[in-house]
Chains A and B, each alone.
Chain A
Amino acid sequence: MDMNRDVNMAVPFAGLTFQNPVAVASGTFGFGREYGLRFDIGRLGAVCVKGLTLRPRAGNPPPRVAETPMGMLNSVGLQNPGAEAFLRDELPFLRGFNTLVIANVSGDTVEEYAALAGLLSDGGVDMLEVNISCPNVKEGGLLFGTDPRSAAAVTEAVKRRASVPVMVKLSPNVTDIAEIARTVESAGADALSLINTLMGMRIDIRTRRPILHRGMGGLSGPAVRPVAVRCVYQAARAVRLPIMGMGGITCAEDAVEFLLAGAHTVAVGTALFKDETAPLTVLDGLDAYCRANGVSDIRTLTGAMIIDS
């Protein structure tokens, strides 16, 4: 391939078009205001905003973060101003950029998920990301994501109220991720995102107390990447839905692994905390990878892993 010819980076995804496959992961990017001072959000394929709930949530007491080998545990606990405040105070800002806005939602009950879906799709977001995999709250959250019947109930309820595509975010904290993926597909989901964080724990051996106030938290960063690639691979083989892959992506090479495993798009999260422009590093690196490897269309990488039998 001619190295100077443009690589097609655009990806059709659940009825929308991502201008490129690189998004930022929910909860690591706030509502874009902070990193928006540091790079052009308009270069991103999509922004998954901080997890929203119907009513404002204060979140968990500190400490909320603990470092681990090439990873981190967090227990932020879905601190957010509530969906209405988001629509009023934050969405107009994000709308000023040439990128898709994906609202990440969490509820304590199926009814709350449905109400959020109605409110936010009417409010003008491009897509919903249904978080049934948050390990950091008492009710709901992870519970919905580990029990196939609850996962299906949430998905159906959200689909009934949503007027935009619905992406369901899966937890790696399950025995069989393919089963949950299939259930959510049958319930009407338009796309999947995975993985959310892995449950973890750290203990201060001096004080004999957990480092996080809440004891347990969600593990993210490069430490989870092989688990995430495996989950994407298993989910991609189980369903026909488009997949947004994430978990420890720091560079283009990491992102390519996710694409080869079956992801259509990727999200960058924890890597931002070390490299503020990590999503652009990934994006520019993907372009360079494609040019160097004769790939003229990024879409051809999806699921292109070769298995020698």
Chain B
Amino acid sequence: MIVTVLSNESLRPGASDLRIRADASARRPRAGQFAHIACGDALLLRRPISLCDEEAGVWRFVFEHKGPGTRYLAARKPGDTLDILGPLGRGFTCEPEDLPTLLVGGGIGVPPLLLAARRLAGTAHAVLGFRAASLAVLTDELASLCARTAFCSDDGSLGTRGFTDAVARRLLSETAYARVLACGPRPMLRAVAGAARAAGVPCEVSLEERMACGVGACLACACRVRAGAEETFRRVCLDGPVFDAETVVW
């Protein structure tokens, strides 16, 4: 669909906060789903960006400027149009339950957890980690959308010094959770999945892989998973990006 940019602001140096109005016919996005966004005529491939938030048909994307695609997106002005496919993929399980859900986000993996927190209607707990306070995004908003929030950073400039999995491990030992939903760099996901397994709590992780079609047709975005006794490749774009952590072959 061709959508109009409503706003596009800098969140911090090197990161943008872009809002668009989706078509009335678009499906309502689930947390963990993504949009596949065309980045101008000069770039052949679309770029996958997670839905960070959705309210009344306004979709929000928060992204870091990595290369030409995300730089193109960062340069869009209100009133410009964007060519977007989505919402695509399988999202997080976000049902409010008797026990709270624990959200664990690292770095630019944090944005999709905002929509998860919103869908969980204020009941979630969150652990958010960044390399440094200067690289943090969405901390205040997540704190206000969650019942409990803990921060950490590699250098101690935000919250406790250390990694999210250590904080998650502590919370998992103190509180009974319905499930863990995690998004961030792969080593973090693996460690968080280990912590959840040790606590006997189901865990879902959002994986990244380079994509072409984004809709399941080209098999570019393979990730290795266990299906029964066998290992096979699944498509991050259609079978994921969110997977049951127990099936992922790290």
Q: A residues within 8 Å of B by Cβ?
A: 27-30, 33-35, 38, 50, 58-68, 70-72, 74, 76, 79, 221-222, 270, 272-274, 276
Interface residue from B214, B222, B223, B231 paired with A273 (Cβ < 8 Å): B214
Nearest Cβ in chain A — how far from B11, in angstroms? 25
8 contacts across the A-B interface (CB closer than 8 A): A27-B219, A61-B222, A64-B220, A64-B221, A65-B45, A67-B43, A222-B44, A276-B215
Cα distance A203–B12 in the bound complex, in angstroms: 30
Contacts beyond the supplied A273-B214, A273-B218: 4 A-B pairs with Cβ under 8 Å: A65-B210, A65-B221, A74-B212, A272-B217
**How many pairs, one residue from A and one from B, have CB atoms within 8 Å of each other in the complex?**
88
Nearest chain-B residue to A68 (Cβ)?
A: B44
Cα distance A74–B117 in the bound complex, in angstroms: 37
List residues of chain A with CB within 8 A of the CB of B219.
27, 30, 50, 59, 64, 76, 79
Contact between B218 and A76, CB atoms less than 8 A apart: yes
Contact between B216 and A34, CB atoms less than 8 A apart: yes
Total count of chain B residues near the partner, CB < 8 A:
27
A30 with B46, Cβ < 8 A, contacts A62-B209, A79-B233 known: no
Nearest Cβ in chain A — how far from B220, in angstroms? 4
Q: Is the interface of B mostly helix, strand, loop or mixed?
A: loop
Nearest Cβ in chain B — how far from A99, in angstroms? 16
Contact between A35 and B215, CB atoms less than 8 A apart: yes
Nearest Cβ in chain A — how far from B43, in angstroms? 7
List residues of chain B with CB within 8 A of the CB of A66.
210
Nearest Cβ in chain B — how far from A44, in angstroms? 14
B232 at the interface (CB under 8 A from A): yes
B213 at the interface (CB under 8 A from A): yes
Contact between B233 and A65, CB atoms less than 8 A apart: no
Nearest chain-B residue to A250 (Cβ)?
A: B44
- What are the 8 closest A-B residue pairs judged by CB atoms, nearest first? A65-B220, A30-B217, A34-B217, A34-B216, A34-B215, A273-B212, A273-B213, A63-B210
B20-48 residues with Cβ-Cβ distance < 8 A to A are: 38, 42-46
Nearest Cβ in chain A — how far from B235, in angstroms? 10
Contact between A79 and B222, CB atoms less than 8 A apart: yes
List residues of chain A with CB within 8 A of the CB of B238.
34
Cα distance A63–B238 in the bound complex, in angstroms: 17
Cα distance A30–B239 in the bound complex, in angstroms: 15
Nearest Cβ in chain A — how far from B219, in angstroms? 5
Contact between B216 and A30, CB atoms less than 8 A apart: yes
List residues of chain B with CB within 8 A of the CB of A74.
212, 218, 220
Contact with A along B207-250 (1 / 0, CB 8 A): 00111111111111111100000011100001000000000000
Nearest Cβ in chain A — how far from B88, in angstroms? 10
A276 with B85, Cβ < 8 A, contacts A64-B220, A65-B210 known: yes
List residues of chain A with CB within 8 A of the CB of B46.
273-274
Cα distance A63–B221 in the bound complex, in angstroms: 7
Contact between B232 and A58, CB atoms less than 8 A apart: yes
Interface residue from A58, A71, A276 paired with B233 (Cβ < 8 Å): A58
List residues of chain A with CB within 8 A of the CB of B223.
62
Cα distance A83–B144 in the bound complex, in angstroms: 54
Cα distance A19–B212 in the bound complex, in angstroms: 29
List residues of chain B with CB within 8 A of the CB of A28.
213, 217-218
Contact between B44 and A65, CB atoms less than 8 A apart: no
- Select the residue from B38, B215, B221, B223 with max chain A CB neighbours within 10 A: B215
Nearest Cβ in chain A — how far from B140, in angstroms? 33
Nearest Cβ in chain B — how far from A309, in angstroms? 37
Cα distance A33–B217 in the bound complex, in angstroms: 8
Cα distance A276–B2 in the bound complex, in angstroms: 13
- Select the residue from B42, B85, B210, B211 with max chain A CB neighbours within 10 A: B210
Cα distance A274–B217 in the bound complex, in angstroms: 13
List residues of chain B with CB within 8 A of the CB of A270.
44, 212
- Select the residue from A29, A273, A276 with max chain B CB neighbours within 10 A: A273
Cα distance A65–B238 in the bound complex, in angstroms: 16
Contact between B44 and A34, CB atoms less than 8 A apart: no
Nearest chain-A residue to B232 (Cβ)?
A: A58
Nearest chain-B residue to A56 (Cβ)?
A: B232
A62 with B38, Cβ < 8 A, contacts A30-B216, A272-B217 known: no
Contact between A274 and B38, CB atoms less than 8 A apart: yes
